[in-house]
Amino acid sequence: MVKLSVIVPFYNVRPYASDTLKSLRANAREDFEFILVDDCSHDGTSDALARAERELPGAVYVRHEKNGGIATARNTGIDTARGEYLTFLDGDDWLAPGHYARLVAAIEELGCDFLRTDHVRCTARTRTIQRVPHGRRGEVMDPRRAILPAERTTSVDYPYAWAGVYHRRLADRGLLHFTDGLRTAEDRPWIWRLHREAESFAVVGLPGVFYRRGVEDSLTQIGDVRQLDFLRAFDQVIEETAADPEADRLLPKAVRTYCAVIAHHLSGIDRFEPSVARQLRTMSAAAIKRLPQELLTDVLDTMDLNRSARLRRLRRRVFAAKAAS
């Protein structure tokens, strides 16, 4: 039986794929499989993956004929996976040797639905440990209780799918799949759903994933229209949380996080292409209009001045346009 399925989407990451594949080889075990999903690369990545299919123990190579984005690629991997546990890695990141064996041992010892871990953030030659924003380590808890408080960073604000491991029963319940077609922020509705609907989780250290930042052609660096998918992702978070039996408690956190992310993108609007910057303003204003207005007022009253001022200006623009019409 396959103990662990590792799902790794690749798209045009030829300069980094060899590091990723080498680190997978240093994590290979006879009961591990590595599902390499080529999301229709055209830069030579496919050749590296075809070689890995032959040379990497446990490799399963799947190629998309059309680029669908990371959410769709991960879903392909989930549908292909046979393991008792599942985890993820991005095609331009890498692992410490033996990380996955330690990860499986940790979740089996704790017996929870999913386990979250710290990671190493790599920017050029700088390495920093990024910790899960959850104080209680090695203790199994109800993940719903880790969503709040609204005004603090919590584990739903640490959405990285590859920073953890997940029992197959979550996939069987439909909780591990991502919203098809999302090209950024795909992990935001996903992490919220896990925290609302899974029964147990825990946090441990194990910073064995090395997350590469500053890649020139990654979506975090490119200001094109794909970045605007964060609005669709957070609309989903708001819609699903509003339907939750505990919406009164949880929705303030969801609205606050959505507002913070909108403010973040508006603060860096100069990096977007001009036409995309216009769409960002228009779509952000529409998102502000869709939010529960009384709750939005409460959130803006408790945010820092820079972000709240930026969002209040956007909100005034919405009401001015409404009055003019």
Residue 324 makes CB contacts below 8 A (sequence gap 6+) with: none
Q: Please name which of 171, 209, 159 lies closest in space to residue 77, comparing C-alpha atoms.
A: 171
pLDDT in tens, 74-102: 999 999 999 999 999 999 999 999 999 99
Distance CA 177, CA 245 (A): 22
Contacts of 171-177 spanning 24+ positions with Cβ under 8 A: 171/78, 171/81, 171/86, 173/197, 176/78, 176/86, 177/75, 177/78
Please answer whether residues 260 and 157 qualify as being in contact, where contact means their C-beta atoms are separated by less than 8 angstroms. Answer: no
Q: What is the pTM of this model?
A: 0.93
Q: Encoding tokens for residue 144?
A: 């719903």
Query: In the prediction, which pLDDT does 317 show?
Result: 77
Go through 56-71 and write b for each residue having 16 or more CB atoms within 10 A of its CB, e for each that does not. Answer: bebbbbbebeeebbbb
Examine the pLDDT at 39 and tell me if it is beyond 70: yes
All domains of the chain in start order, with CATH: 4-213 (3.90.550.10), 225-324 (no CATH)
Q: What is the pLDDT of residues 120-163, one digit of tens each?
A: 999 999 999 999 999 999 999 999 999 999 999 999 999 999 99
